[in-house]
Amino acid sequence: MLLLTVRITALVAVLLLIGHALQAGPTAPAADALTGRQQAIVTVATLTAKGDLPRLHQALGQGLDAGLTVNEAKEVLVHLYAYCGFPRSLQGLNTLLKVLDERKAKGIADVVGREAAPITSTAPKYERGQRNLETLTGKPDPNPKTGANAFSPEIDRFLKEHLFADIFERDVLTYQERELATIAALVSLGGVEPMLQSHLGSGLHVGLTPAQLRQLLALTEASIGKKEADAGRAVLVKVLGSGKQPTAPNQK
């Protein structure tokens, strides 16, 4: 009788576990895997930088289905103008408009999402941008300036005041999401290995894992080809081979 009771109790426990699993729905992605939203950001950024508008059209629709809000998708495209230029960014935004019109005609009500919060800091934009850059890289901004930033103080000011203040301070996307978009765009562009190396390091610093960055490169390969992805993999090997695995700071 005691043995029967034990077996019944064990059976009930198993059934309860199965019930909980079914209620939980599909298994969540592994901690080292990019979410559906993150994968959408990568693919949208890759195709925007490449200028492949037909496939970008499809990727934007899939991104909205994966949980990107309209404002998040728009923010990815706005962010990218700093890396692949106004023409690519504007073409991406026009493509998003077409996608939204088509989805609305089909009765799909996409979530608009929140807009960027107002910037309340009264600190000079250069200082704010410098702090944001240091948060991204985990390193102090070089002083005195070297290389292109020393040769062209104007570009240093534009980078700090506009890219790392005006753009990176917009909280529609996190630093991680902005780095995913940036890295994907740089891989797609090709020939910008020093910048890609820097942003891969920043991606690690803001909490992206090596496995997630490898997945990013697999997604770019599926979108634009093996040549660009392999060039990106070579840079990632160099970054990981440096042995510097930074600690992620607090996210905005």
Q: What is the pLDDT of residue 32?
A: 85
Domain annotation covers residue 25 = no
Last-in-domain residue among 149, 170, 191: 170
Same domain, 138 and 46: no
Same domain, 158 and 177: no
Same domain, 87 and 130: no
Tokens for 24, please give them.
């939980």
Q: What is the CATH number of the domain that holds 94?
A: 1.20.1290.10
Cα–Cα distance list, 138 to 126, 131, 159 (Å): 18, 10, 17
User: On the CB side of 76, how many CA atoms lie within 13 Å of its CA?
Assistant: 34
The answer, yes or no, to whether residue 243 has pLDDT greater than 70, is no
Number of domains within the chain:
2
Same domain, 190 and 134: no
Domain annotation covers residue 186 = yes
Same domain, 251 and 130: no
- pLDDT-based confidence at residue 18 (cuts at 50, 70, 90): very low
Domain annotation covers residue 42 = yes
CB neighbours (10 Å) of residue 189?
A: 18
Domain annotation covers residue 91 = yes
Domain annotation covers residue 117 = no
Question: Mean pLDDT in the chain?
Answer: 88
Same domain, 164 and 126: yes
Q: Which residues contact 77 (CB under 8 A, 6 or more apart)?
A: 44, 48, 89, 92, 93, 96
Q: What is the pLDDT of residue 218?
A: 98
Percentage of residues in the chain with pLDDT exceeding 70?
84
Q: Which residues contact 212 (CB under 8 A, 6 or more apart)?
A: 32, 33, 34, 38
Domain range enclosing 244: 34-105+172-252
Separation CA 6–CA 93 (nearest Å):
63
The answer, yes or no, to whether residue 173 has pLDDT greater than 50, is yes
Domain annotation covers residue 26 = no
Same domain, 84 and 141: no
Same domain, 243 and 178: yes
- Comparing C-alpha atoms, which of 120, 137, 94, 149 is closest to residue 246? 137
Q: Calculate mean pLDDT across residues 82-105.
A: 98
Domain annotation covers residue 231 = yes
pTM of the shown model: 0.85
Domain annotation covers residue 67 = yes
Same domain, 76 and 96: yes
Same domain, 191 and 94: yes
Same domain, 154 and 200: no
The answer, yes or no, to whether residue 189 has pLDDT greater than 90, is yes
- pLDDT-based confidence at residue 135 (cuts at 50, 70, 90): very high
Q: Calculate mean pLDDT across residues 181-189.
A: 98
Same domain, 166 and 182: no
